[in-house]
Each structure stands twice: as structure tokens, then as C-alpha cells.
Amino acid sequence: MRTHTRGAPTVFLIGLLWTLLTPVGAAAEVDPSGGIPFMGGNYNGHPMLYFNRGDVEQLQYAATGTHRDMAKRIRDAGETMLEHPEMYLPPWSPAEFSARWNEVYGNNLGVMSMFCVLYPHRAGAVDLAKDYMERMAAQPSWLVKDAPWDEVPLAHSLVGFATAYDFLYEYLNKGQQERFLQVIGNASRLMYEKSYVRGWGFQYLHNHQPTNCVALLTGSLVYMTQGYLQEAYLWTKQVLSIMEKSMVLLQDVTDGSLYEGVAYGTYTTRSLFQYMFLVQRHFSISHFDHPWLLKHFAFLYRTILPGFQRTVAIADSNYNWFYGPESQLVFLDRYVLRNGSGNWLADVIHQNRVVEGPGQAGKGQRWCTLHTEFIWYDPELIAKPPPDFGTSQLHYFEDWGVVTYGSALPAATNRTFLSFKSGKLGGRAIFDIVHKNKYKEWIKGWRNFNAGHEHPDQNTFTFAPNGVPFVTEALYGPKYTLLNNALLFSSALAGSCFKPWAGQVTEACDSKWLKYKAGLAADAEGRIEAAMERQGMVFIRGEGQSAYNPELMIRNFQRNLLLLHPQLLLLVDHIHLHPDSPTRAMSAFFHNTELPFQGMKVDGIHGAFASHGEDKYKMFWMDDTGFSSKGVLGYWNYPRGYPYNGSNYVNVTMPLRYPHTRVAYIFFGPSVDVQSFSLRGDDQRVDIYLATKDHIYTIYLLTGELTSKPLFAMVLMDHKKIVFEKAAGAEDRSPAEVEEYVNVMEDNLQHVKPVFQQMERHILGRVLNTANFHKTAERLLQFTDKKKTEEVIENMFAMSKKQGKGKGGKKVNIGETLSESLPDIFAQIEVNEKKARQRTSKRTYEDSPEEGGGAFMEYADGRKNRKGAFVKGRRFKEVHMVATAESESLSSTASYIRLFLLLNTATFFLLLAVLLTRFQRGRSLHTQRCFYTILLIDCFILLYLYSSCSHTQC
């Protein structure tokens, strides 16, 4: 027995040791950085924002190989600007520069500077870029004259100018370097000041916020690299205090959507993805496992109409995307998906781009993301479509309140797109945060959000049979219910935009923006009750009663969509009134932004059609009494100030009866020949009979609140039965508040100071014993008390002269020693700034409670008593940590644990070696057991110390 078991404890212990070490190796395989190298404050001049000087040659090589398609687009943009400089250079005149919305100048400068990086020997390229920057630097302000309250144009100019400064630094002469840096500093300083009083500083998840914050962050990183650490530190902390809150709140958006829609969504992600990249590269803050980010691909993939040229245009929108989305897609693929789907979709979108006409990229935006697309593209990810590509899929965005069907398909016969919208104002996450008082440390109701770009569009839909837009959204226009495919009700209510008709409570009669801040509008919502596909048919139901004024006394406004065939859609509106309702009629609108409608009538049933080439797309309507009123056809002109002229529409008005009225509409394409259409109903349901040349449909639609069968609808097609059961209805489950959300945000803010302290040491180390020492030290201490500054600089200067080598000829890092002799320049300026902001924020809030407010961000470093101790951190090779008594205690504990861990590891291996070499033979079993017991106990101690060490990050 002894012979067979002698080696067993040894094998057991070796196995136990293996399990101890395995998690370390496994953890090393997980890279939360997404492969983005963390700079750790170790910069070697410019460029540094997105790549280093040493990376430039590799980028130029990629431009001739793996990235040649993207490089060609950058080169085409650069050559176009070189050929027609008068069309693209900013004007010298400040009046002309600020006369109109001018984001184009900053947007084009980014790609121009990338063109110079990739093709530095192209004659005239660098000179044009420098001329471009000179013209922008000559402007007294980058704001627009007619909108001085809006920093968005300034943000576009700042991010483009600072990026160009970083990319082209070596091509600028000394005067330009200093002058352009001053311009960046002035613009960044203004943005920083405005971040405390403008909505973008506290209205989260709105497109202005990442746009302006990334501009300020870009400016602050450039300013930091040039040694202006104190101001850059404040700017950076302010950006992160805003954006890290947004990242926490975004965790509540469970479907990857953005409530402002696809077009403005790409405006948001253009900057949001830049933010994620920059904070990982410069501060080791990773968001690549963010739950929203993991779902965001669907927001781009499931919203594209067949043909890949248009998207669902919910909320203020153009025909597709404002920015990108190729840049955003390659970003998602490289840092999140890693499966080739993002690269594939980016390629397909580019191949199908509209060159001229509706849907073409705007001149101010078309080149803006080319440089980030080039930087983020990973050619090792072979372009590959998602597994379900090629088949029509139903997708429900539960937060956005949107259902899509048939997205991202090649344009062809029976490739049909259908969308439906019925959701909470601002999306479920924002609506529930406001109404359930979530994140109350940060959020004070609707003041912290901005739903201005949304539309009064609950229970609206779009339909594109064969990929042809038949019923469309009305794009970026006035916020009227009638400009959406929705209902109005007759009423004498005060405040209606078009008496005697009342639209949804969020519509705005005299404003460009949706009404959402207070009153009935603040509580407006719709609800999707069902979204399902059965045997090629799609059923969707939405409830929109809560979007209308309660004085209308509407009990239910239920809209049902049944896609019976790829070219045949049935829509049924069910309106249930309270007994005392003053509402006597309803008015439905259907829009097409391009194709005009023409009226028609068949067998007493009124309808309309739109012609697309030789094909006609038709619609008819009637109510449950067989009545069909004549529709009003026309074109609604938008007022000046909107990017589109207007929309074609069909307006159908029908009488309402108590208690309920059902109105049915059929929409069909050229391959469907409808021969008969009728409906009748009772309290529980409505029955629709529909005969086409190929099929006979009988639809039983259960509309009652309590039904005899647990069904939404049942369809008999010829001899086939399709059932839509209630058990599969949509559920509304709001996510819980993120645990310890304040600490989550503050933990990420802790990453900033060590980087700036590292910069402080490097800067001092570079200028030792040089003529620039005095000037550099003054720059570092720019906002410190002047008397103390002079005294400290003299002491530092004397120290730099005395110290050269340590004992034994060892070199001393004088930069570190000198930085220790400095006061904590960051803690000092934080305290001063905090006091100043507390005084001004109170005044601002009293003056303008809607736009100002909020006390200055509490910078919770938790390390205010500087002790001058260097510790090795988990993210920094060697960073200067500032410690309170508590964190000093933690540091001390970690040091002891580390010491014991090292000693115990040595003891363990020593005992193991002794056991294997000295005690395998000739020793009693009792002696061996004693050694094994000691070794086992030591192994458990080792496990405990390893666990403690990981918890304290030693």
C-alpha cells in the first residue's frame, strides 16, 4: 500500500499549486484595454493623441497595403481640398466665419491633417494644412454669431484644430507652435467655463455632451503634453466627471440604442467612441466590456432599410447617418465584437453609398470620421456578415420602444422593411430614471436630460415593401403630431396647435424642440404590447393613450400591425372612449418625403397610391361600419430653418363612436392584387376579410381588455392557421440602479492624477540644468500662490545644481526628487477651484435654474495628505500616489502581505524540494505525513495570502 501511495501527496500538492497559478495565467489572457497601449504619462512629444511618432511609418505602410481602400478615401478628400482650396479653406473674415453654422471647418481639418501624415511628400499638402490652421487661429471666436449660446460649432473647430496640431506639430515653426497652442488653450478654457452653465454639462446621453466633452478632452491632452498641467488637469477631471456619469447611466439602456434615433445616434457615437479610445490610451480607463456597447451593433444593423442606403428615421433625422457609421462599425469590431461583422457592414454601407440625391452624405460631415476609421480598422478581422444575414428578422428595442423587421437586406422584390414606435419619452432608461428617482445623487428630474430632438410619434410606423419607402417618417421638421404617421383627435382643448384637433401632449406649437420638461408632456409614453413573427407573418401592437391629453377621455388607442405578406400590410386602429369623452372624430396622417400621393376609389372604398417608376404602391381604408371617407392629399411645407422642405401626406378623417371604433387600412405593393376588403366587429374583437388574387385571409383581432381566448390575433390564410398568443407579449422590465454608482465613477477619476504626476516628473527631468528650467517650473506652478512659487522654484533650481550623482556613482532620478519638493500642485488647484465653483454655481442656479447649477464636482481622490511615498500600482509602472491615513494603512497592509507572500512562496518551494529529494526514501511514514501536513498548511496560507494580495492590489 505504501508503495502505491507514496507519490500521491506530491502529485496532489503539485496539482494544487497548478490550480493556484492557473487563474493568474487566465486573467492575463483577458485584455480589458482592447489592445490599446496605455501611455501612463510617458510621452515623447507629438503626435500622441491616437498614435506615437514611432507609429507613423507603420501607418504609412498600412496605407499602401491593408488600409489602402480607406487611405484612398482620405487621399481623395485631401486632393479635392488641394484642387479647390477656395471652397474648403476657412475665410479670414471673422464676420464671414461666424455668419453660419461652421462645423465643416473643424470636421475637414482632421482628415486634412491625416492626409499629411500619410502622404507628407505630397506637394502643397502641409502648406495647405498650415494655411488652414492660420485662418482658424485668426478668428477671435469659433462660435456662430446667431447662436452664441451654443458651443457645438466651437467644439467641432477645437477637436479638429487640436488634432491637427498634434498630427502636424513637427511641420509647424516655433511661432506657430506657440500661437496655435494659445488658441487651443483659449478655446478649451472657454469650453471648461461653459461646462458648468450649459446644458451639455449636466444633460446626460444627449449628442451635445460627448461632442463638447471630447473637444475639451482633446484640447486638454494637447495642453498637458505642452506642460500646462494644472489647467489641463482641471479640464480633464471635468470631462471625466461628466462623461463617466453618462457611462454609468448608459448601463440602464439594455438594448444598445440611443433615444435620439439613428442619425443623431451616430453624432453621439462619433465622439463617444473617441472618448472611450482616448481615456483607455491616456488614463487606462476601459469601457470595452460595457453592456450597452456589447448591444450597440444591433442599433446600426437592425435599423437599415433594404439596399443599405437608408435607416429608420425616428426623431430628428436625415435619410441615414449624420456621421459615419463606418468609423463606429470598425471600432466596434476591433474593440468589442472581434468577429468581422462590423468590418463587413462598414464595407457594404460604403459600397452602397448614395453619391447624389436624397441620402448622400452632408458636405460638412462626409470626411469627418475618415481618420478615426483608418486608425481603428483591424484588417485581421475578416469581413463576415452576421449568421442571420439574408433572412428577414424581427428585432425589438425594448428601451427605445421600437420594433424593426426586414433590416439590412439587399434591395429586391419581397425584401420588405417595417418599423413601429411606441415607447417612453426619452426611452425607458431615461424615463424611469426621472420617474423612479434613480441616481438621485446626480439626477434632478428632466433637468438632467434633453429630449428636444424627439417627435410626438407614439404608435407610428413606416413601411417599405420591396425596399421602396411607401410610408416614411417626415425627417427633421417641426414637432407636430400630424407630421408623424400618428392620430389627432377632435377637441376644443386649449393649447392645441391645430384647433379643433389635438395631437400628442409633447408636440410644440412655437418651438423647434419637443415639449418634455414639465406638465403632461413630462409623463408622456407609449407601450409596445406585442411584437412577434409566426410562419412568415408579423404582428405588432402598441398602446398610445398615455401620449394624449387625459381630457380627451380616451380609454385606449390601440394600433395593430399585421404583415400578412412581404407586400401586404394590414393596420387596425382601435379607439375606446370613456362615456363622457368630448372626442367625436380622429384624423390619421401618412407621409412620404419623396413620392407624392394620388387619390383613387374602388367599389366605394377610398384610397391613395404613390408611383415608383412603373410600379404603384396603394392603400385603402374603412371603419367597422363599412364607411370610407375621402382622404385629403397634399404637401406640408416646413418653415425656414429646417434642412428639408416638407413632406407629402395622406390625411384620413373618420368619425368616432362610443364605446369603440375600429378603422382598418391596407397597404400593398405591385405584386399583390386586392380583390375584396371588409370588416365587422363586436365588443371583444374585429374580424377582417381580405381576398387577393393568390390568397384569402380571415383575421380575428382581439381588441378587448379581457378576451375569451389568450390571443392577440389569429389569421386563417386559405387552409392555414397562424396564432399570435398573449403569452408571447412584450414585457417591460426596467433594470436596477447600478450598485455604488458614485464610487464606480470616482474610481475611474482616480486614474487621472497619477498620469499628470508622471508628466510632472518627466517635464522636470527634461529641463534640468537647462535655460528652460525657470520657465518650465513657472508653467507647472502657474496657478499656485505666487510667493510660494518663487520660493519653491529657487529651492528646486539650487537642488538641481547640487545633485548629479548619488552615493557610489549611482544616478539619481532628479525629476522625481524635484517633483517631491513641489507642493501637490493638483490638490491645491482643486481646492481653490472647488471653492470658486461653489460660490458661482449657487448664483448661476438662482439666475437660471433651467440651465445653470449643480455644485462643483467633488474630487474624491481620498489622498490629500501628501507623504511622498512611491508605490508600484496595478496600472502604472511607478506612480506617485497621494494618501490619506486610510489609504496609507491599506498601502502598509499591502506591503506586509506582499512580504509574507514572497517569504511563504519561498518556504513552500523549499519544503517541496526537500520532500522530493530527501524524504522519498528511507524515512518513516509518520515523518512523511508530518512534512505533507506542514506543506499542505503552508499551501493554504499561500492561497490566503494570494487572495488578500489581489484584493488589496499589492
Active site (catalytic) residues: 208, 264, 476
Q: Degrees (nearest 5) of the Cα angle 827, 833, 835?
A: 105
Cβ 482 vs Cβ 589: under 8 Å: yes
Torsion, Cα 232 234 239 244, to 10 degrees, reads: 120
Crossing angle, helix 752-767 and helix 261-283, to 10 degrees? 50
3-state SS string over 78-123?
Answer: HHHHHHCHHHHCCCCCHHHHCCCCCHHHHHHHHHHHHHHHHCCCCC
Of 861, 862, 839, which is closest to residue 196 (Cα–Cα)? 839
**Residue 536, CA distances (Å) to 393, 540, 586, 691 in order:** 10, 13, 32, 18
Whether omega before 385 lies within 30 degrees of 0, making that bond cis, reads no
C-alpha cell of 296?
Answer: 450597440
570, 575, 546, 571: which is closest to 558 by C-alpha? 575
Cβ atoms within 10 Å, residue 209 = 26
Question: Reduced to 3 states, what is the DSSP secondary structure of residue 656?
Answer: coil
Do the beta carbons of residue 626 and residue 672 sit within 8 Å? no
**Cα(first)–Cα(last) distance of the chain, in Å?**
45
- Residues 270/369, Cβ–Cβ less than 8 Å: yes
How many whole angstroms separate alpha carbon 291 and alpha carbon 341?
Answer: 18
Query: Long-range contacts made by residues 200-204, C-beta under 8 angstroms, separation at least 24?
Result: 200/151, 201/242, 201/854, 202/242, 202/447, 202/448, 202/853, 202/854, 203/447, 203/448, 203/449, 203/450, 204/245, 204/246, 204/249, 204/442, 204/448, 204/449
From the list 648, 493, 505, the residue with the least C-alpha distance to 583 is 493
Residue 747 amino acid letter: D
3-class state of residue 618 by DSSP: strand
